[in-house]
A and B are shown apart, each in its own frame.
Chain A
Amino acid sequence: MSVRDFGYSVSDQRAVDLDRKMPDELERVYLQEPSLRNCIACGNCAALCSAGSFTGFQFYRLNVLVSRGLLSELAKKAEACMLCGKCQMACPRGVNIRHGIMLMAQL
Chain B
Amino acid sequence: MQPPKLSGNPAVIATQLGKTVTTTEQSLTILSAINFSINAGDTVAIIGESGSGKSTLLGLLAGLDTPTTGSVVLAGHDLTRLDEEARTRLRSEQVGFVFQSFQLLPGMTALENVMLPLELRNQPGARAEARRLLERVGLGSRLQHTPRQLSGGEQQRVALARAFVTRPAILFADEPTGNLDRQTGARISDSLFELNAEQATTLILVTHDASLAARCNRTIQLVGGVMA
Q: Bound pair: A and B? A: no
**A-side interface residues toward B, CB under 8 Å?**
none
List the interface of chain B (C-beta within 8 A of A): none
